[in-house]
Chain A
Amino acid sequence: MKKLIEIKNLSKEFDGEIVLKEIDLTIKENEFVTLLGPSGCGKTTILRILAGFETPTTGDILFEGLSIVNLPPNKRNLNTVFQKYALFPHLNVFENIAFGLRLKKMKEKDIVQKVKQMLKLVKLENYEHRNVNRLSGGQQQRVAIARALVNEPKVLLLDEPLAALDLKLRQEMQYELKEMQRQTGITFIYVTHDQEEALTMSDTIVVLNNGLIQQIGTPIDIYNEPKNRFVANFIGESNIISGIMIDDYKVKFEDYIFDCVDRGFHFNEPVDVIIRPEDLSIVPNDNAPMVGVVESIIFKGVHYEICVIVNGKEYVVHTTKNATIGDIVGLTVEPQDIHVMEVGVVLNE
């Protein structure tokens, strides 16, 4: 797919405080890209720079190969869905959605047709004449999305658009947004701090922390091959263990040498080992590589969350088989489920 946006070596300071540092990111056409990270890591700032409300301190942004950093917001071919919707309170639903089209001096007939089409897409047919202040949060959000999408931008920027909605509505909207993105073929740059939301919706996830990109990858990459402790911790639950790389495909932790699929480390290099809770299995304690005591068991619906203490360290195991508190059990893990990371790449923790 074609490159649409290239962010090159972008940095941003506010009053000497560095908020974004050397951001490099390429976004392709029709891609659903999610910026994921904890609150305050700079996600909104990236969107505001893309939209043109902030200028970068250093670096450049290319849009279809041309720099846009000096272009005012109203000249950029992208639209924003704001975190707090920002609907115009003096205009009704129809006029809110038609706002961008009226500026383009489009014919009334075409405006009516396009707005109607949008209302259908966001499932608000017959809401044209409603007062936007009297809509529910979910409906206001749909109007905000329609108001942006009706202009057929190349890119839609969405800043935590579902954060204010309750869980059920949020899940529904996640599905609908993804569907809209697929139908319209518009590139979505989506900001969230909710890792589950990022994993369900995105083609590409960009994990950020303290203004630095930690990892860029598909949801599966990010989940299965986190690059560092921060990503591993932020995306899902993980057991993170300090270990030593004995040789290619051999890693030692908890006094046992495990087979693994990683290679290319220095001889005896200290590493971080990540094992997802669902990749650990409880086995009889004889011959198991790790042996520990069951400390707690929580029933989670589909699985049990069992906490096992090995050498004084806590391991979280997700399994469908129950155990008994106080039992001595063994733990195993398959070689392909052991993820070895360099210790050095931990950024800004």
Chain B
Amino acid sequence: MNKSLNRLSYPYLLWTFIMIVIPFFLIFIYSVTSSKEGSPVIFQFTFDHYREFFSPSNINILNKSIWLAFQTTVYCLILGYPAAWIISKINIRKQNAIILFFILPMWINMLLRTYAWQIILGRSGILSTFFNIINIKYEGILYTDSAVLIGMVYNFIPFMVLPIFTTLIKIDDNLIEAAYDLGASTKETFLKIIFPLSLPGVVTGIILVFLPAVSSFAIPRLLGGGQYVLIGNLIEKQFYLLGNWNFGSAIAIILMILIIISMMFMKKTDELKSRGGGTLPW
């Protein structure tokens, strides 16, 4: 049983190796070497790209990226938690329909959906047409920070709702009744039982939103305009526009280290919350 399972995992391991380990290794090599023209050695070891990154303007871009990802995560959580909660409360047939509504847009290409937002938010878009009809002056918010945030939240909110919903429906009704029985009000039951038990879903949701948000470049480009540069755009620029693969790789590695640190931090918070009582289903 175990042996055959192990053998079944070989193709997967091979796949992981080819598609993840090798590319990662290459990125790392690129990030610590330089390939100057006219130099006899093709790859020369250097930390210059890392040093180069820590310039005030780049740090600014990094801060802006983290801030946008943070805001996106917070809005997704604020809007997504109540949504997940409401969905978990309704009867099972409607539940499946609503979950489908959440998943369905994810089957449409992300760029396409973002173009749709361009049309909605633009100067001659649906929103401004509507406002014009009712005689309110509205210039459109396309190419502003708000437009980027709306696009980001719209795009990432299913990744917050679904894991929270999954943990909420797994909570045994008996636990909620037990809390009421012991004298807890609806609010106290939520704060002391339901929310703590849904934390694994919240943590998963935060990771699923924050990680891609911090490195996203398509949505900021389309809704924020050309002057809207985030860390993702910076990396993209190095590879496609400037052909500076070494610097691009170094930025990617720095971003990855930041992400790993923040993930470890999240995991730690989660463990602290469970206070040695039950280990929460992670």
Which A residues have a C-beta under 8 Å from some C-beta of B?
Answer: 51-53, 72-74, 79-80, 82, 84, 86, 88-92, 95-96, 99-100, 103-104, 129, 131-133, 147-148, 151
Contact = CB atoms under 8 A, between A and B. Distances in A.
Contacts of A129: 276
Nearest to B185: A74
Contact of A89 (B177, B181, B182, B277): B277
A86 B178 contact: yes
B277 A131 contact: yes
Contact of A73 (B180, B274, B277, B280): B180
B172 interface: yes
B182 A91 contact: no
Contacts of A99: 179, 182, 184, 192
Nearest to A150: B182
Given A74-B184, A91-B277, 16 more contacts: A51-B177, A52-B180, A74-B183, A74-B185, A82-B177, A82-B178, A88-B175, A88-B178, A88-B278, A90-B274, A90-B275, A92-B277, A95-B277, A103-B188, A104-B183, A131-B278
A86 B177 CA distance: 9
A100 B277 contact: no
Interface residues of B, number: 25
Contacts of A95: 275, 277
Interface in B137-192: 172, 174-175, 177-185, 188, 192
Contact of B181 (A51, A84, A92, A132): A51
The A interface, classified by DSSP as helix, strand, loop or mixed, is: mixed
B174 A133 contact: no
A99 B177 CA distance: 13
A90 B196 contact: yes
Contact of B276 (A52, A86, A131, A148): A131
A53 B178 CA distance: 10
A184 B280 CA distance: 35
Contacts of B193: 88
A92 B279 CA distance: 10
A88 B194 CA distance: 10
A73 B185 CA distance: 9
Contacts of B231: none
A132 B275 CA distance: 12
Contacts of B175: 86, 88-89
A120 to B, nearest CB: 20
B197 interface: yes
A82 B174 contact: yes
Given A88-B278, A131-B277, A147 B182 contact: yes
